[in-house]
Amino acid sequence: MSIKRAVIVLAAGRGTRMHSTLPKMLQPIAGVPLLGRLLSTVSQLHAAKTIVVYGEHGEALQQALDTEGRFVWVEQAEALGTAHAVLQALPHLEGCDQVLICYGDVPLIRVETLNRLLSLVPVDALGFMTMAVPNPQGYGRIVRNTQGEVLRIVEDVDASAQEKIIQEVNAGFFVVPSSHLVQWIPKLVQNAGKTEKKSEHYLTDMVAMAHQAGIKVDSVQPIDSWEVSGVNDKVQLAALERHFQRSEATRFMQQGVTLLDPDRFDVRGEVTIGQDVTIDINVLLEGRVSIGNHVSIGPHVSIKDSVLEDGVKILANTVIEGATIGPGARVGPFARLRPGTVLWHDVKIGNFVELKNARIGFGSKVNHLSYVGDALLGSHVNIGAGAITCNYDGHMKHQTTIEDKVRIGANTSLIAPLTIGHGTVVGAGTILKGDVAAGQRIHNRVQHRIVDNVLPQKNMASQQQKKD
C-alpha cells in the first residue's frame, strides 16, 4: 500500500540570539538559507505536501524560498511551543497517512537519514531520532524501561537528578501516524499550563501518550550527530558552516581531488570536479561550477557559475563569474572574468586583465593590464598591454569584432562599434574609431614635442644656479 505522507517544517523561531535584521531562517549555511537547505532536502522525499509553520517574516521567507508556491505556509501567531506550532498545521493534513516533523533550523540532515527513519517506522507506529552525547545538558532525555522500550522524553528543565545523567537525548524529527497526531496535539495544548512546565506545549509528550496507548515507539540515530545539530546563534552557525565545508572537502578528496589544505577550501553551490585536479588554498566555488580533468587552480581564487574544461590552469587571485574556459586555457594571476566570457582552446589571459561578455578565439592572448568587453576575437589574436575596448557610449553597449591573427599594440583604445579585419596590425597608442580592412597597418600616434618654459621662473633660476 502506498503511504501518503505530509511533512511539517517548524520554522517559527524568532532568532533573537542571532542579533541580526536578517530572519533566522534566512541565515546562510554554505550560501543557502537554513530553511532553504532543509526544504531542499525534504523535497527529495516527494511527500504529498510540505507545510511550513512560520512566526515572523512569513512574507520574506516565501519570497526568498517559494516563488513557485510549492509549499503550504501556515502562521503561528504566538510562540507557544512546538506542539502549538504543529496544531496550526493540522487542518492541512486531510488525506495523509503519516507525518514527518522537521525543524527549519536543523539544516544538515541528510535525505538518506530521513529515509532510514521512514523505512524503519511502520505507518501505525511513532518514530523519532535520538543521539548519544557526553554532555546532555539542555537536551530532552530518553527514558527507557529495563526492556529498552521508550517510555517518554523528559525535557532538561523537568528532569530529575537521575534523569539528568541519561546521555541518550532527543534529536527531533518525529514520524507520526496522522490519525494519532490530530488526536494528541489538541490534548497536549489543552493540558499545557496544568503542570510545572510553564505553559510550554511540548511536542515530545507525544512519546508518553503513544506508550500509554500501546502504540509502538521506534527510534533511530543519525550516523553523524552534526546532521541533527540546530542553530540558535552565530557561534553555532559558524560551527555548522565549518563542519559542512570540511565534509565537502572530504567528499571531493575521496573522489580524487587534491586539496592542498582542506580547511581552506569552501563550496557554496553545486560543484562537479573531474580527475587529477589540484586546488590550492583559499579557493571559493559558488553556484554551479563544473571543473574538468587535469585542472590546476591557484591560491585565493573565486569561481562562480562557470565551466572549466580539461587542462585549464587558473593562477593566483583570479575572480571568475559566469564564464566558460576552454581546454588548455591559462588565466591569471589577478585576472577577472565577468559574465558572458568564453575562452576557446589554449587562450592566455594574463595579469590585471578584465573580460566581460567577450568570446576569445583559439590561441589568442590578452596578457597584461587590458579590458576587453562586448567583443568577439578570432584565433591567434594578440592584445597588447593597456589596450581597451571602449564599448559604452553612455547609453548603449557596442561590440568590437577582431578577426584572426590581428595584433593590437599597447595602450590602444578601440572605440566600438568597429571591426578589425584579418591580419591587421594596430600600432601602440592608437585611438581607433571605425572599421579597418584586412591586412592593414595602422597607427595615429601624435608626434611628441618639447614645450619650453613650463616651470616657474624661480625654479628655472634655481636650476640654472645648480648648473653654474
Cα–Cα dist 339/323, whole Å:
6
Please report the pLDDT score of residue 410 as a whole number: 96
Q: Which CATH number fits the domain that encloses residue 29?
A: 3.90.550.10
Query: In terms of domains, do 59 and 134 share one?
Result: yes
Q: Which CATH number fits the domain that encloses residue 367?
A: 2.160.10.10
Query: In terms of domains, do 129 and 205 share one?
Result: yes
Q: Is residue 241 part of a domain?
A: no
Query: In terms of domains, do 342 and 423 share one?
Result: yes
Please report the pLDDT score of residue 2 as a whole number: 81
CA pseudo-torsion sign 159, 160, 163, 165: positive
Extract the C-alpha cell encoding 264: 581552506
Query: In terms of domains, do 30 and 154 share one?
Result: yes
Q: Is residue 112 part of a domain?
A: yes
Please report the pLDDT score of residue 282 as a whole number: 98
Angle of CA points 147, 152, 156, to nearest 5°? 125
Query: In terms of domains, do 290 and 218 share one?
Result: no
Q: Is residue 347 part of a domain?
A: yes
User: Which of 109, 107, 111, 91 lies closest to 49, judged by CA?
Assistant: 91
3-state secondary structure of 47: coil
Let me know: does 156 contact 213? Beta carbons within 8 Å.
no
Let me know: does 428 contact 441? Beta carbons within 8 Å.
no
User: Which of 230, 246, 196 lies closest to 13, judged by CA?
Assistant: 230
Please report the pLDDT score of residue 461 as a whole number: 56
Give the number of C-alpha atoms closer than 13 A to the C-alpha of residue 127, restricted to the C-beta side.
Answer: 21
CA pseudo-torsion sign 158, 208, 112, 83: negative
Query: In terms of domains, do 65 and 189 share one?
Result: yes
Please report the pLDDT score of residue 464 as a whole number: 58
Q: Is residue 233 part of a domain?
A: no
Q: What is the DSSP letter of 447?
A: P
What's the domain count of the chain? 2
Query: In terms of domains, do 14 and 58 share one?
Result: yes
Question: Looking at 228, 249, 265, which one is the last position of a domain?
Answer: 228
- The model carries a pTM of 0.89
pLDDT along the chain (468 residues), means of 10: 91 93 96 97 96 95 95 93 94 96 96 95 93 92 94 93 95 94 90 53 89 92 93 96 97 98 97 98 98 98 98 98 98 98 98 98 97 98 98 95 98 97 96 95 78 61 58
Let me know: does 304 contact 288? Beta carbons within 8 Å.
no
Q: Is residue 453 part of a domain?
A: no
Cα 155 to chain centroid distance, Å, stands at 35
Query: In terms of domains, do 72 and 182 share one?
Result: yes
Query: In terms of domains, do 293 and 181 share one?
Result: no
Please report the pLDDT score of residue 58 as a whole number: 92
Question: Looking at 207, 228, 249, which one is the last position of a domain?
Answer: 228
Q: Is residue 317 part of a domain?
A: yes
Identity (one letter) of the amino acid at 324?
A: T
Q: Is residue 240 part of a domain?
A: no
Identity (one letter) of the amino acid at 182?
A: V
Strand partners of residue 303: 285, 320
Cell match 516565501: residue? 62
3-state secondary structure of 129: strand
Q: Give per-residue burial for 360-395: e unless 16+ CB within 10 Å, then b.
A: bbbbbbbeebbbbbbbbbbbbbbbbbbbbbbbeeee
Out of 294, 345, 368, 398, the active site residue is 368
Query: In terms of domains, do 162 and 17 share one?
Result: yes
Q: Is residue 237 part of a domain?
A: no
Cα distances (Å, whole numbers) of residue 202 to 63, 170, 240, 458: 30, 12, 26, 90
Query: In terms of domains, do 201 and 281 share one?
Result: no
DSSP sequence for 56-71: S-HHHHHHHH-TT--S
Query: In terms of domains, do 205 and 337 share one?
Result: no
Clarify whether 368 is annotated catalytic.
yes
Where in the sequence is the domain holding 273, given as residue range(s)? 257-442
